[in-house]
Amino acid sequence: MEKIQIALTYDDNYAQHSVVLIASILENKTGNEEIIFHILDGGLSDNSKKILQDIQGCEIKIHQVDKKQFEGYVKSDYYPVSMLWTMILPDIIKVEKLIYLDSDMVVNSSLKELWETDLSDNYVAAVEDANGKKYAKRYGLKDSKFFNTGTMLINCKKWLEDNIPQKAVEIAMKNTGSRWGYDQTVLNQLFEGKVKFLDLKWNLQYFPINVWATYDDKQEYKNAIKNPLIIHYVGDYKPWKKGLGCFNPKQQDYFKYHKITPYAFTDYNKWFRQDKLLSYKGLAAFIKRYPLFFLKKQFWKNMFSI
């Protein structure tokens, strides 16, 4: 079988969660699958690199990035410069196709089916963003679908033929500091009409109190919630954040794999108790963002329809 090539981009802030993602992929691979992980180093400590190099059952390659092309990028906590590296993956990793995954994910299935997806003449295969209709309208896309870059099967050959990395970086740097200058916005504009949309189960974006999905196919979304092949922990309520994680209905999926990594806790029950005791933080954050949430129809629709 052809080796499955997977790319991750992260720094030490997401080292632990990326290792959990890797563990989930390896735990669910079939016997004959060979996997190569390509790690774009956004600032990894020697300890983080050692943990990566000690992982068994796969091949790990760490790549350095020429950061000169990103000089002048206006970074923020939510949009670090490493976010833009997804746009230059085919320049760094010399393969014909590549799976890219965000680091705030876990995988519950073999990736063989995703890897063997026919890309035809499309730039990527990806899943519609949960707020895709809103974003498509905001950014002036003719197509009402806007894809989420968390899961991408990348047609590296086509990207390079059409000089996508250079075009994408130029657009991002020209719009740095604005919502027009991050990877998802840039790639959606460049790839309009050349995206193969995947079943929602390949990138489940689900958090009922503040992910108010606009998908047309409600049944597909319900099926994905029940049986997600990839869970994407979008937003601030990450499962590993004390006081926030306890609100995430897919929290246990993360810790299922966390337990088989070098980052495993000695006492998970204690950690979950502390998480719940600090839950007032999550409630306060939600009320601050949506002070009149009880007046929003979409909130109640989400709470009772899924």
Concatenate the DSSP letters of all residues of 91-110 into one string. HHS-SSEEEEE-SSEEE-S-
Residues of the chain with pLDDT under 70: 1, 77, 292-306
| Amino acid found at 58 | C
pLDDT at 162: 98
Structure tokens belonging to residue 29: 């691979």
Alpha helices by DSSP H, listed for the chain, are 15-28, 46-53, 89-92, 112-115, 132-138, 156-161, 164-174, 183-190, 218-226, 251-258, 268-277, 279-289, 297-305
Q: Tens digit of pLDDT for each residue in 257-297?
A: 999 999 999 999 999 999 999 999 988 987 887 776 666 66
Nearest to 136 by CA among 175, 94, 191, 57: 191
SS (H, E, C) 210-262: CCCCCCCCHHHHHHHHHCCCEEECCCCCCCCCCCCHHHCCCHHHHHHHHCCCC
Rounded to whole angstroms, how far apart are CA atoms 27 and 259?
12
pLDDT at 291: 78
pLDDT at 261: 98
pLDDT at 67: 83
pLDDT at 121: 96
Helix (H, G, I), strand (E, B) or coil at 29: coil
pLDDT at 300: 62
pLDDT at 108: 98
HSE-CB of 184 using CA atoms within 13 angstroms: 21
pLDDT at 143: 78
pLDDT at 302: 65
